[in-house]
Amino acid sequence: MQSFRTEIENPVVEQDIIELARKIQEFKEGKVDEEKFRSLRLARGVYGQRQPGVQMIRIKLPYGKVMSNQLRRISSVSDEYSRGRLHITTRQDIQIHYVDLNRTPELWAELEKDDVTLREACGNVVRNVTASETAGFDVSEPFDVQPYAHAIFEEFLRNPICQEMGRKFKVSFSNTDEDTGLSYLHDIGFIAKKENGVNGFKVMVAGGLGSQPHLAETLYEFLESDKIIPVMNAILRVFDRHGERKSRAKARMKFLMAKIGLDGFKALVEEQRIAVPYTSVAIDADAYPQPVIADIKDIPSVTIKDQKAFAQWKTTNLIPQKQQGYVAIGIKVLLGDFYTDKARLLADLVDKYAASEIRLTLRQNIVIPHVKENLIELFYVELEKLGFVTAGYNKAVDITACPGTDTCNLGIASSTGITEELERVITAEYPQYLSNQDLVIKISGCMNACGQHNMANIGFQGMTVRTKDKLVAPALQVLLGGGNQGNGKATFADKVVKIPSKRGPEALRRILNDYEANANGKLFAEYYAEKGERYFYDFLTDLSVVDNLTAEDFIDWGTNEEYIKAIGVGECAGVVIDLIETLFLESDEKIANAKESFENGVYSDAIYYAYSSQINSAKAILLAEKKKTNTQADIVNNFDVEFIEKNLIELEGTFANQVYAITQNAPSKDFAITYIATAEAFLTKVRAFRVASV
């Protein structure tokens, strides 16, 4: 057996990690069957990825609170064991991808040095405890729910009553009646209440999404805070004992509730409360660590170049705090993806000017709490360097999406590609929605609803459609009318129509155009309820016809470049030459952008600009030769075939090896320097070849 040692001081944690290493070895030797090993690794945050031979690692971050030292540690781990990208989930976790299974124990040991765990981030266990991202500073909250969420996290981590349940178990905390923790879709949802000066919670149970969504039901209108741990213990015992085991599809608590009803469920909980070894567990909220805000002697002078953009950002991305003189800043993170160089600079920023913490949100964004009002301009300038000042935080343009077919085994159709396109459509064609927080759009790559599509006002679910010739195309189920009504009440969206994926933007346009023209100021959920499913089906149904599909309809979002067939192909030589020179100039601009990002310390952006420059340069010369450039993969492959293999242009190895170095290296300063220089040299070579051949 391969030896493995850790430097973890906590012997329980150390044993966990050593056990994972041992089980990996036994699995490789055929001593542990695949199903058992899967259960063990899932309970330790190790999840099989769509791509063979690599794993997704889910890092458990209770209620999305991440201290600056933890963010740096996660970044270092991602650089060392993955590819330097961090993905924020809809449960306030961080995921990293493309990790070698054999290295997961040492990865976990590194994380634990800053009190970050993988334990029970996946599997049939109590998953990450989530909470409203404004907990602790919300102007409307009766009290801070963070101490209670943390107490639940600690109590049930490694708790023997919930290690091998029939299915996963999800818990949330909402700090106000707005129910921003979404209690209605959780196995247990706690909504903060205060009665007669006593802190407590409304308790919702047996909610869930998936193919058969179920709204949570009210177990207690008010439960004192010292009773939440005993009650959750009892509920877990009920679920563990009475929940489905044989059929995975029926194993969530919502199916148990449907089977025995609320009264039957309550009776079982009361029975189990007797078996719980405590009737009351006081949670000392006053002992919960309070934010330590940086003592700032001198505020650097800054200049904001675009005052209009700054004014727009202030209206959409600032969150009032109950602490006088402070605000929180919302950062819109496209698809929840950002890179470790940005993470480190963000950690430095909150250390120096805020409270050394960030919050990850249920909508895959970031919040910086405890920012002094006189530092807003400084934060804007610093965040602008990171590309973190996109307006529209938590507004209609801020679409939630799961990874879909990018990395998930269960993904049926792309959710990330269509999300980028829909956000582009809204920003360009419906700018008024940049400030609209009442319209919620969510997208999932399959029926499992990790993107929470069936709780959205407008939702899309990845599917497929089959033509009469039995050809299969990616599709989207359009869902309408869902929404959060607050205090544990909500409506799930109706399935209205299924359409080919490439018609998603047109469906959104029709929905928004109708809403703009006829709603007369009503919220979308109200308007949908008034008009009904049939009304929307009637003006969307022609989009579902599949006997007129084009070749483009068989290519999912995000897998092709923008359609360019009419540009440079079949035109006169003069037009093609002009196009080529334009592309070369764009390559110049991308290199300039790379250097600017490098100077700002945002190495991931610098590297990606350099990557784009190389692709652009190769595309230019391929178009000049009238070769295929439909996708980036086509460009890379065809450049090697047409220029490298024929010895027309000399590189150190293939173009594929050169350009795909971006996927093999974390976004470090040293790699950025090398990669930018490579992009410049490549542009010089292809330009010289073009000049010599014209």
Question: What is the average pLDDT across 191-215?
Answer: 95
- Residue 452 or 332, more confident: 332
Determine the topology of domain 307-385 in CATH.
Alpha-Beta Plaits (3.30.70)
Q: 252, 211, 249: which is closest to 412 by C-alpha?
A: 211
Choose the most confident range, by mean pLDDT, from 163-177, 356-370, 391-405, 634-648. Answer: 356-370
Whether the predicted pLDDT of 639 surpasses 90: yes
pLDDT tens digit sequence for 275-334: 787 899 999 999 999 999 999 988 999 999 999 999 999 999 999 999 999 999 999 999
Question: What is the average pLDDT across 521-550?
Answer: 94
Question: What is the average pLDDT across 445-454?
Answer: 86
pLDDT at 254: 95
DSSP-derived 3-state class of residue 499 = strand
CATH of domain 400-554: 3.30.413.10
pLDDT at 461: 93
Say how many Å lie between the first and final Cα of the chain, rounded: 63
pLDDT at 368: 98
Whether the predicted pLDDT of 598 surpasses 50: yes
- As a whole number, the mean pLDDT across the chain is 90
Whether the predicted pLDDT of 356 surpasses 90: yes
Could you give the C-alpha distances from 82 to 76, 86, 96, 306, 662, in angstroms and in order? 10, 9, 7, 36, 12
User: Given pLDDT bands bounded at 50, 70 and 90, which one contains residue 481?
Assistant: very high
Whether the predicted pLDDT of 566 surpasses 60: no
**Sign of the Cα pseudo-torsion (105, 110, 112, 116, in order):** negative
pLDDT at 460: 94
- Residue 150 or 474, more confident: 150
The pair of three-digit structure tokens given for residue 472, joined into one six-digit string: 């299969």
pLDDT at 573: 31
pLDDT tens digit sequence for 116-128: 999 999 989 999 9
pLDDT at 166: 83
pLDDT at 174: 98
Question: What is the average pLDDT across 607-636?
Answer: 85
Query: How far is it, in rounded angstroms, from Cα 418 to Cα 508?
Result: 11
pLDDT at 560: 56
- Residue 333 or 273, more confident: 333
* Whole-prediction pTM: 0.83
Residue ranges of the domains in the chain?
11-112, 130-285, 307-385, 400-554, 573-693
pLDDT tens digit sequence for 374-417: 999 999 999 999 999 999 999 988 888 888 777 777 778 888 88
Could you give the C-alpha distances from 417 to 10, 376, 504, in angstroms and in order? 43, 33, 11
Q: Are 335 and 420 in contact (CB under 8 A)?
A: yes
Question: What is the average pLDDT across 428-437?
Answer: 88
Question: What is the average pLDDT across 154-164?
Answer: 89
pLDDT at 632: 76
Question: What is the average pLDDT across 240-246?
Answer: 82
User: Given pLDDT bands bounded at 50, 70 and 90, which one contains residue 4?
Assistant: low
> Phi/psi at 302 (nearest 5 deg)?
-130, 160
Determine the topology of domain 11-112 in CATH.
Sulfite Reductase Hemoprotein; domain 2 (3.90.480)
573-693: which CATH architecture? Up-down Bundle (1.20)
Task: Express as a percent the part of the chain with pLDDT over 90.
Answer: 66
pLDDT at 408: 79
Question: What is the average pLDDT across 643-652?
Answer: 93
- Three-class SS of 218-259: EEEEEEEHHHHHHHHHHHHHHHHHHCCCCCHHHCCHHHHHHH
Whether the predicted pLDDT of 561 surpasses 50: no
User: Given pLDDT bands bounded at 50, 70 and 90, which one contains residue 242?
Assistant: confident
Question: What is the average pLDDT across 499-507?
Answer: 95
Question: What is the average pLDDT across 201-209?
Answer: 96
Identity of residue 380: Y
Question: What is the average pLDDT across 256-279?
Answer: 90
pLDDT at 572: 27
Query: How far is it, in rounded angstroms, from Cα 687 to Cα 675?
Result: 18
Choose the most confident range, by mean pLDDT, from 46-55, 60-69, 447-456, 540-549. Answer: 60-69
User: Given pLDDT bands bounded at 50, 70 and 90, which one contains residue 571?
Assistant: very low
CATH of domain 130-285: 3.30.413.10
Whether the predicted pLDDT of 74 surpasses 90: yes
Query: How far is it, in rounded angstroms, from Cα 401 to Cα 527?
Result: 24
Comparing 130-285 with 400-554, is the CATH topology the same?
A: yes
Q: How many CA atoms lie within 13 A of 375 on its CB side?
A: 26
Task: Give the helix, strand, coil percentages of the chain, each rounded to 5.
Answer: 45, 15, 35
